[in-house]
Structure 1
Amino acid sequence: MVDARQEPTPDWLVEGATLGELAGKIDVPAQALAETVARFNEHAARGEDPDFHRGASAYDRYWGDEQNPYPNPSLAPLEQGPYYALAVVNGCFGTSGGIATDGLGRSSTQTAMPYAACLRSATPPRTPSPPATPAPAPRSVRS
């Protein structure tokens, strides 16, 4: 397991040594953050996540930490800093860019003539986690 504290904090994360420090940096009431984390910790210690159901599926548990001493390998109480926050904004994983396709998913030319036996998905094969954030597929070069 890699100790994240040995690496510099990426620009897309906000770090605080304590929950109070983190709350100040992300402009949320410190007491509300502390209460939220206390509630999360209470449930995590029992292996539960009533809000987001993390670890409820076999898939979640497969990707969990086998060495986690708590009942759910995907959850553990947040007991000591540093603590991190990440901005979550609305977005879309689809794209209006990429190779032009017809209604059957066939790649086509500028004049809408389909290329034979060439199919293309409009969604790029990327993952929804930093630093490999989803991006539109590159536009095809059209002659």
Structure 2
Amino acid sequence: MRDIPVVTSGYTFMVTGEPEGKTNPDGSPYRPKDRNDVELDQPFVVMLLAKPKPVPGQPRRKDGEEIKVNLPCDPGEGFDLGTFVELINPVINTFEMRDDDGRISNAGIWWKADGLKPAARPVATKPPAGSGSAASAADKASKAA
């Protein structure tokens, strides 16, 4: 399967490595060609920290994973380190590598998106009303008095 759509609404993404153009081993810009042998724009890659968004009533998760996302072209200005972003049309693809004996020696996924757009900095969400403890309710009542 190729270009499997991904729903990312439950995650925040922060730039940890600014977008940079893909290069050939000799350092020259990598310029892929389409099926008609027409040269395409230089693809870019960006490193992002993907973290689950907080869920009300559950402890905040501290884990996250750094992912590399392939982009078809330069995403433009404004994607500096620490910037929160959203992925435009994100997809994943699978890969596998085989050793000399034909056995799978490595496998995984790689990310691709049509682009990036700035996202609002995530804000901690408050638990729903009435989900607080009896102690916090008593504390609020004493402050009101």
- Higher helix share goes to which structure? 1
- Higher strand share goes to which structure? 2
TM over 0.5: no
* Alignment TM-score, normalising by the size of structure 1: 0.23
* Alignment TM-score, normalising by the size of structure 2: 0.22
